[in-house]
Amino acid sequence: MITKISTVFSLLCLLLFMYGILINLTKVEENRCKMTYMFEYPQFVRIDIPHNEKFPAYGLYGYSEGKLTDRARNMDFTGAPVLFIPGNGGSYKQARSLASVALRKGIDNGWRNHLDFFTVDFNEEYSGLYGGILNNQVEYVTICVRRILKLYERRVTVPVSIVLIGHSLGGKIAQAVASTYNLSSVINTIIAISAPIDNPVLSLDHYYKNFYLAIQEQWTANRTLRIESTHQKSQKSLDQILFLTIGGGIRDTLVEESLSSSVFGDLHAMTSNWAIRRESSARSRATSGRTNCPRLSLFRCTSPFPTSFSTRLAAVYRRLGRLFEQLTRVAGAHDMEDGSDEHLQMFNIVGLGERNHVGVCRRNLPHGHLEGNESCLSNNRSL
């Protein structure tokens, strides 16, 4: 009898295992990404950081291409600063696709609104295997943020904030930078791409546990989570940061979907059964100033990174860029007719079915109410 039960159980486990393989091989969306083409050779210009004896193996670079590299070498940056942070074993050159698209957009619009991309070199450290280097990376990124903002001091209009984009553990580093070294006032947006935010993929040592616990405590104390609290003007330091998380969906076999979302996030996106939505436990406030940010509307990332992880995330980049554009148009078309900011604005962006059509809804919520007028637009073009 025991032998029969053991045989049945073994067969059941085998069937479930085979079914899992089938799902991973077949239940994935088509990769419809297009390659990013550069018109000139990419250049990474090293930016000197004074008194950097503590981190000689690390580096900070500005991105440029071709003849425009002279401007970067002269430290002539005139756009909105964006800092890319690589993850476990990642290279600073992975910023190339994002930076190249942003550079082309700046050229196309006559440099009226454009992004200046910077990227951090962690010497391809394996931060996913040893947590003892995480605090070093956080400290160095903090130095980089201050150095980047200092480059703009001679401008007439000095940017007061920066956008952080982190891939893998780089997203966690970006989150830590915002809270650890009191830089929340100069960080506009954090975009975490396939990053284990609330929990690590593997916790191999006590450094990981302590690091995650410290960041969790800092964000819990300084970030409003409950929807009921968002109708009031927030006094918490981290509430003004727009925090976006992007997961690789079923294609991502390293950082599963549940790890890439966060209770602190404003928006979450994923591939396959994807949606960008407000997390129920997160804040439901997306003010027009933050959502209409011209920096975000430039993120039309239509190509994969030139590395092994890129194919899983390229579709997310492309979709997110188009969703931001549509969201910007909706916010502009329906921008507070009464001219006041006494309403809560809730933006819902939802993927509809297999054809990946998009619907964008905005709700104006009076203070103290969770119901209000909703206006929606539907995008019938396939993403």
Is this prediction's pTM over 0.85?
no
pLDDT tens-digit series, residues 298-343: 343 333 233 223 333 444 455 455 445 544 444 344 343 344 333 3
138 or 314, which is more confident? 138
**Per-residue confidence (pLDDT) for residue 215, from 0 to 100:** 93
- Give tens-digit pLDDT for 251-260: 677 887 778 8
Write the burial class of residue 4 (CB in 10 Å: 0-12 exposed, 13-18 middle, 19+ buried).
Answer: exposed
If phi > 0 it is left, if psi is from -120 to 50 it is alpha, else beta; for residue 143 that is alpha
Do residues 168 and 87 touch, judged by C-beta distance below 8 A? yes
Residue 38's pLDDT is what? 75
> 3-class SS at 262?
coil
pLDDT-based confidence at 102, cuts 50/70/90? confident
Taking residue 378's Cβ as centre, other Cβ atoms within 10 Å add up to 11
Predicted pLDDT at 232: 52
Between 287 and 147, whose confidence is greater?
A: 147
> Residue with structure tokens 């003849």?
67
pLDDT tops 90 at residue 135:
yes
Summarize the confidence of residues 236-248 as an average pLDDT. 84
pLDDT of residue 250: 65
Query: Percentage of the chain with pLDDT > 90?
Result: 29
Q: Place 234 in a pLDDT band, splitting at 50, 70 and 90.
A: low
Report which secondary-structure segment, H or E, holds 268. Answer: strand 267-269
Give the whole-angstrom CA distance, residue 38 versus residue 23.
36
pLDDT digits (tens, 9 = 90+) for 19-43: 888 877 777 666 666 666 777 888 9
- Is residue 144 predicted with pLDDT exceeding 90? yes
Q: Which strands sit side by side in the sheet containing 80-85, from one edge to the other?
A: 42-46, 59-65, 115-121, 80-85, 162-167, 187-193, 242-246, 267-269
Q: Which CATH class is domain 42-339?
A: alpha beta
The residue ranking higher by pLDDT, 78 or 363, is 78
pLDDT confidence bin for 349, thresholds 50/70/90: very low
Residue type, 63: Y
* Placement of tokens 């591939």 in the chain: 271
Tokens 């910023």 label which residue? 95
Phi first, then psi, for residue 65 (nearest 5°) are -140, 140
Cα 160 to Cα 158: distance, rounded to the nearest angstrom: 6
Instruction: Give the integer Cα–Cα distance in Å for 285 and 11.
Output: 50
Q: Quick one: pLDDT at residue 23? A: 77
Most confident of 22-36, 134-148, 223-237: 134-148
Instruction: Check residue 246 and give its pLDDT.
Output: 86
Mean pLDDT of 346-368: 37
Residues 275, 331: Cα–Cα separation, whole Å: 19
Q: Name residue, tokens 């696709």.
A: 97
Residue 177 has pLDDT above 90, yes or no: yes
Cα separation, 224 vs 227, whole angstroms? 8
Report the first-to-last Cα separation within the chain, whole angstroms.
55
340 or 122: which carries more pLDDT confidence?
122
Average pLDDT estimate for 354-362: 37
State percent of the chain over pLDDT 70: 64
Q: How many residues does the chain have?
A: 383
In terms of DSSP H, where are the helices of the chain?
Answer: 2-26, 69-73, 96-108, 134-150, 169-180, 206-222, 257-260, 288-291, 294-297, 310-333
How far apart are the C-alpha atoms of 80 and 103, rounded to whole Å? 11
Note the pLDDT of residue 265.
83
Q: Decide which of 57 and 323 is more confident.
A: 57
C-alpha of 69 from chain center: 26
Chain mean position to CA 179: 17
Catalytic residue among 168, 262, 284, 288: 168
The residue ranges of every structural domain in the chain are: 42-339
Instruction: Please say if the pLDDT value at position 71 is more than 80.
Output: yes
Arithmetic mean of pLDDT over the chain: 71
> pLDDT value at position 134?
94
340 belongs to the catalytic site? no
Q: Is 141 exposed, middle or buried (0-12, 13-18, 19+ CB in 10 A)?
A: buried
Q: Look up residue 76 and give its two tokens.
A: 């002539």
Contact 166, 134 (CB under 8 A): no
Residue 205 pLDDT > 60: yes
Tell me the pairing of strands 115-121 and 80-85: parallel
Q: What angle do CA 220, 86, 142 make, to 5 degrees?
A: 55
